[in-house]
């Protein structure tokens, strides 16, 4: 570990850190030339710890709200390999994990193990700017019901583009997909919605990843227009947010 004085130290449980990583790591980029996207942002502020990942097409953010021992605001980017290794080492216990950060390194102390890693240099995008705030079409849906319908539709989606078309009507979500062999799938799911009709396309894999990162039985899906990003979060609490850019179909 470097001889720099440690800038920031904080302690949380195995379970808390594992959960923050699990809810965001799937959105990290892979081998993007914007190297800072090939990792995961760890943001520490008074009373809050956030993890954020984005590959430019989608974004995942999770947060833990409680007082931590860290004394100053900090943002660091953990490399992809470090995140995956941590996820493997952590368990779902209340055993403590201590994080020590300097300007270019992180040290993670578990009960019987120490992991040290370099950090990714660079500036993470201003992620708060891409979280939609003015969506006027708000849907409440059963998570498992919608997930199952999307998974069935995904089987017949184009393997390369993975596109699905979502059509919103009063209390109804229609999911449609087709592939180059002209095979089509259509699913209808009852939802809570009383706004204007809307048709929008998404990458079905991104929607499934977001729903898998939510634990609650119901989720909120906020949309505005066919060319604006959608926002997904647990209906019970918004400590995790998932932004998905639309695609043209």
* pLDDT beyond 70 at 221: yes
Whole-model pTM above 0.75? yes
Query: What is the distance between the alpha carbons of residues 91 and 86, in angstroms, rounded to a whole number?
Result: 10
SS3 content of the chain, % helix, strand, coil (to 5): 20, 40, 40
pLDDT band at 5 (very low <50, low <70, confident <90, very high): low
Nearest to 241 by CA among 218, 221, 217: 221
H or E element that contains 61: strand 58-64
Q: Is 33 exposed, middle or buried (0-12, 13-18, 19+ CB in 10 A)?
A: exposed
pLDDT at residue 3 is higher than 60:
no
Task: Give ∠ CA 203-64-73 in degrees, rounded to 5.
Answer: 105
Give the span between the Cα atoms of 93 and 6, in whole angstroms: 26
Digit-coded pLDDT (tens) for 112-132: 999 999 999 999 999 999 999
Give pLDDT tens digits for 174-192.
Answer: 999 988 888 899 999 999 9
Whole-angstrom distance, CA of residue 27 vs CA of residue 19: 14
Cβ neighbours, 10 Å, residue 28: 22
Instruction: Report the 10 Å Cβ neighbour count for 174.
Output: 15
Contact 200/247 with Cβ under 8 angstroms? Answer: no
pLDDT digits (tens, 9 = 90+) for 18-69: 999 999 999 999 999 999 999 999 999 988 999 999 999 999 999 999 888 7
Closest CA to 248 of 202, 181, 179, 185: 202
Compute CA 17 distance to the chain's CA centroid, rounded to the nearest angstrom: 15
pLDDT tens per residue, range 146-158: 999 999 999 988 8
Q: What is the mean pLDDT of the chain?
A: 94
Q: Report the alpha-carbon distance of residue 196 to residue 170 in Å, rounded.
A: 8
Give the burial class of 209: count Cβ atoms within 10 A of its Cβ; 0-12 exposed, 13-18 middle, 19 or more buried. middle
Q: What does the alpha-carbon distance between residue 28 and residue 52 come to, in Å, rounded to a whole number?
A: 9
Q: Which residue has the higher pLDDT, 156 or 210?
A: 210
Q: What is the mean pLDDT of residues 180-205?
A: 95
Q: Which domains does the chain have, with CATH numbers?
A: 8-129 (3.10.150.10), 132-244 (3.10.150.10)
Q: Is the pLDDT of residue 101 over 90?
A: yes
**CB contact set of 138 (below 8 Å; sequence gap of 6+):** 193, 195, 220, 221, 222
Q: Is the pLDDT of residue 4 over 60?
A: no
Q: How far apart are the C-alpha atoms of 5 and 128, rounded to whole Å? A: 30
């Amino acid at each position: 570990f470097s001889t720099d004085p440690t800038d920031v130290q904080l302690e949380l449980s195995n379970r808390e850190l594992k959960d923050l990583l699990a809810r965001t790591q799937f959105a990290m980029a892979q081998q993007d030339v914007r190297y800072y996207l090939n990792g995961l942002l760890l943001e520490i502020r008074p009373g809050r710890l956030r993890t954020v990942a984005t590959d430019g097409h989608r974004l995942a953010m999770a947060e833990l709200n409680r007082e931590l021992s860290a004394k100053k605001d900090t943002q660091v980017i953990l490399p992809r390999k470090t995140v995956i290794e941590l996820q493997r080492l952590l368990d779902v216990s209340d055993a403590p994990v201590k994080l020590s950060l300097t300007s270019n390194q992180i040290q993670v102390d578990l009960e019987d193990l120490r992991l040290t890693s370099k950090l990714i240099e660079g500036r993470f995008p201003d992620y708060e700017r891409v979280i939609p705030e003015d969506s006027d079409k708000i849907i409440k849906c059963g998570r498992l019901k919608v997930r199952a319908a999307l998974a069935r539709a995904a089987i017949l989606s184009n393997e390369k583009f993975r596109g699905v078309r979502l059509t919103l009507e009063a209390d109804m979500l229609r999911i449609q997909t087709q592939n180059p062999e002209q095979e089509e799938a259509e699913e209808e799911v009852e939802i809570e919605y009383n706004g204007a009709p809307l048709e929008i396309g998404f990458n079905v894999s991104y929607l499934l990843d977001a729903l898998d990162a939510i634990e609650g039985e119901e989720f909120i899906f906020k949309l505005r227009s066919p060319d604006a990003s959608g926002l997904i979060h647990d209906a019970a609490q918004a400590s995790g947010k998932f932004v998905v850019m639309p695609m043209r179909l």
